[in-house]
Structure 1
Amino acid sequence: MTQTVALVTGAARGIGLATARLFHAEGRRVVMLDRDGAELGRVAKELEGALPMICDVSRPEEVDAAVRQIVVKCVRLDILVNNAGVADFGPIADTDFSRWRRVMETNLDGVFLMSQACLPLLSRQGGAIVNIASISGLRASTLRVAYGTSKAAVIHLTKQQAAELGEVGIRSNCVCPGPVNTKLALAVHSPEIRAAYHDAIPLNRYGSEQEIAEVIAFLASEKASYVTGQVIASDGGFDSTGVGLPALRPARTRQKP
């Protein structure tokens, strides 16, 4: 596998970094994109031969510049993992248009822009796109009007890609992580929320970044050579158990008649 190249966006931390490390362990050359240049530079040193690139995937000019560098330095591209995303939760009433666009431009526009820019490289020998959505794209929940909608759109974009790009040998699949023990989750999930998730998840725990990376790596590999257009919830069974968590619902005040 030493000649294959895998590109991971949002690779400076979390699921993206875990995926980059797994691809590197498989013997692939890894291209790591992130807009946090300082953290990206630090973690990329761990992976010999990795190519770190500072890039905001929501900006077409930065995406195009990054792909031009990949053409020069790597010649080919076999795998694209669209992992970069932002988590912004809030009530519908408090989500103004600028907040909505901040979420959409990274979570949805970024997936579209990166995939489109990489098509010429991926189509040369066939390749795999793995888009990272979320369980919030499969089931509605409070406080996720922008985030959940962006991830639902990524799910459908994945199917559009599979329907159209199969003819040039590109497979496209989507992974929907459930609650994962990332630094972000640890920071924003209160003990009450964590307990509620544990009660609602059949496996009774959060997932790990490594567990999600394993699913991504499988879908990107030749072991999944006849798999495309699929949406895999790596969520401990959370999607099977119903909708909503009381701990995530804002307090309601009743107006007197």
Structure 2
Amino acid sequence: MSPKTAVVTGATSGLGLLTAHRLVQSGMNVVLVGRDAARLATVTAELRGFASYTADLSQRSQVRDLAAALAADGIRADVLVNNAGAAFPATRKPRTAWNAPTPSTTTRRSC
């Protein structure tokens, strides 16, 4: 039986890097995705030649391009570790807005 394939996003540091190392240790083929090409090359060398792709997943066009590249290269993911993160401060609600009462939490029903 051939090894399973995992695609790990955000694989160049932190939890993504640790996860990639652990998956390799468990015998999986690991495809690395990161937005920093230099760090990605270093990690790919550490893991001895597993496939890697540079993509900034906060950009929808790069998400589509990554999916197309994986498909074109015949990579089928058995596991996706979606570890890449992005913050969009302009669209985030202030912390107090999340805790503000809403009609559903303040309306009392009488029976």
TM-score using structure 1 length: 0.34
For 2:86 and 2:58, the matched residues in 1 are separated by 11
For 1:100 and 1:83, the matched residues in 2 are separated by 22
1:99 matched residue in structure 2: 89
Query: Which amino acid is the alignment partner of residue 17 of structure 2?
Result: L
Structure 1's consecutive aligned runs of 4 or more residues displaced over 4 angstroms after TM superposition are none
Q: CA deviation at 1:100?
A: 3.3
Task: Flag the structure with higher helix content.
Answer: 1
Given that residues 58 and 86 in structure 2 are in contact (C-alpha distance below 8 angstroms), is that contact kept between their aligned partners in structure 1? no
For 2:22 and 2:16, the matched residues in 1 are separated by 10
For 1:14 and 1:75, the matched residues in 2 are separated by 24
1:23 matched residue in structure 2: 23
Partner SS for 2:40: helix
Q: Measured at CA, do residues 65 and 86 of structure 1 come closer, stay the same or move farther in structure 2, by a change above 3 Å?
A: closer
1:219-234 mapped onto 2 (5 Å cutoff): none
1:24-65: CA deviation from partner (whole Å, max 9, x where unpaired): 111111111111111111111111231111111121211111
Q: CA deviation at 1:2?
A: 4.1
Give aligned-pair identity as a percent: 36
1:38 matched residue in structure 2: 38
For 1:29 and 1:85, the matched residues in 2 are separated by 23
1:77 matched residue in structure 2: 77
RMSD: 2.4
Query: Which amino acid is the alignment partner of residue 38 of structure 2?
Result: A
Q: Measured at CA, do residues 83 and 2 of structure 1 come closer, stay the same or move farther in structure 2, by a change above 3 Å?
A: same
For 1:74 and 1:5, the matched residues in 2 are separated by 11
Query: Larger relative CO (CA 8 A, sep 6+): 1 or 2?
Result: 2
For 1:65 and 1:4, the matched residues in 2 are separated by 23
**Gapped runs of 5+ residues in structure 1?**
88-97, 105-143, 150-257
1:79-128: CA deviation from partner (whole Å, max 9, x where unpaired): 111111247xxxxxxxxxx6334xx7xxxxxxxxxxxxxxxxxxxxxxxx
Q: CA deviation at 1:70?
A: 1.4
